[in-house]
Chains A and B, each alone.
Chain A
Amino acid sequence: MNEIGLEHLLIVSTCLFFIGIYGFLTRRNMITMLMSVELILNSVNINFIAFNKYLFPDKLDGVFFTVFIITIAAAEAAVAIAIIINLYRHYKSIDVNDAEKMRF
């Protein structure tokens, strides 16, 4: 267990993933829920990089998947924050229990 191997990275990413799940289930505030989603996406990225490094060093596919996931996460965060700010204008609250009607 002295050498850092694939299992160590998988343990780290599993812990991060379920910390994100826990945050997503307990928080009722949209911005903190978005932060939990970012944690989940990051744990997936660690998995892609770890498999690329330790199992398939002859390919770069894990790197490309990671780059595309980071791009899409940025787009998703921007759209989510636009929706949150719009909801705040209508309801003066960003609690998920207050946002029952998501329409104009």
Chain B
Amino acid sequence: MSASTIVFYILAVGTIGSALLAVTANKIFRSAVYLLFSLIGIAGIYFYLNFEFIAAVQIVVYVGGIVVLIIFSIFLTHESGKDMEKPNTMRVIFSALSALFACLFTLFFIREQTFIKTLNASVEPTVKNIGRQMLSTTEHGFILPFEVVSMLLLAAMIGCIVIAIKSRPAA
């Protein structure tokens, strides 16, 4: 067992363990912090696979953006420190059973499947290659989805402002 394998197993166990704690913790703030560790573990997996750009985006957007947003909304809507209401036992049992069996079913299919690798020469996922292909207007470029996503972000921003704005009673 080489060092790199051990690193991968540590990352995988940390990610899955903190994800499990995030969905089962009693206090909502602890749940958010476990989610943070799980997302950092996923960024570590991307670093392990040599996708540095995706790992950086994961840390900036998820860890720096979404989790901070979630923690802010927890402070706006909860008395943190109070325990959350426990879900009823029957629901927990049936959800756990269905998730467990679906997981085993999928793992069985992954075991049975043989994956065939392409034989073409590989492209390094460097920032330069990613940027060139994303903004190219030729056949394999991704400029159109890029622009559509920028429109979507603008629409989401305006939508957030419209939804969350305090409406004053009419004078």
Q: Do A and B bind each other?
A: yes
What is the total of A-B residue contacts with beta carbons within 8 Å?
Answer: 211
Q: Are B53 and A2 interface neighbours, CB within 8 A?
A: no
Question: What separation, in Å, do the CA atoms of A81 and B145 have in the docked complex?
Answer: 25
**Is B171 located at the chain interface by the 8 A CB criterion?**
no
**Is B170 located at the chain interface by the 8 A CB criterion?**
no
Closest A residue to B31 by CB, please name it. A32
Closest B residue to A67 by CB, please name it. B57
**Is A34 located at the chain interface by the 8 A CB criterion?**
yes
- Which A residues are in CB contact (< 8 Å) with B54? 45, 49, 63, 66-67
Question: What separation, in Å, do the CA atoms of A56 and B49 have in the docked complex?
Answer: 14
B interface, how many residues as a size bin? 35 or more
Q: Are B70 and A2 interface neighbours, CB within 8 A?
A: no
Question: What separation, in Å, do the CA atoms of A94 and B76 have in the docked complex?
Answer: 11
Residue in contact with B125 in the complex, picked from A8, A60, A74, CB distance below 8 Å: A60
Known contacts A14-B110, A18-B103; decide if A35 and B46 are in contact (CB<8 Å).
no
Nearest chain B CB to A66 CB, angstrom units: 6
Q: Are A35 and B121 interface neighbours, CB within 8 A?
A: no
Within 8 A of A (CB), among B96-134: 96, 98-100, 102-103, 106-107, 110-111, 115-118, 120-123, 125, 129-130, 133-134
A interface, how many residues as a size bin? 35 or more
Instruction: Pick from B54, B78, B152 the residue with the most CB of A within 10 Å.
Output: B54
Question: What separation, in Å, do the CA atoms of A96 and B84 have in the docked complex?
Answer: 13
Q: Are B107 and A26 interface neighbours, CB within 8 A?
A: no
Nearest chain A CB to B134 CB, angstrom units: 6
Q: Are B70 and A34 interface neighbours, CB within 8 A?
A: yes
**Is B156 located at the chain interface by the 8 A CB criterion?**
yes
Question: What separation, in Å, do the CA atoms of A38 and B71 have in the docked complex?
Answer: 14
Within 8 A of B (CB), among A20-36: 20-23, 25-29, 31-32, 34-36
**What are 15 of the A-B contact pairs (CB < 8 Å)?**
A6-B115, A16-B16, A18-B106, A21-B98, A21-B99, A21-B102, A23-B24, A27-B87, A36-B23, A53-B50, A55-B115, A63-B53, A70-B58, A77-B66, A83-B163
Ranked nearest first, the 4 interchain pairs of A and B with the lowest CB-CB distance are A23-B23, A57-B122, A58-B120, A25-B95
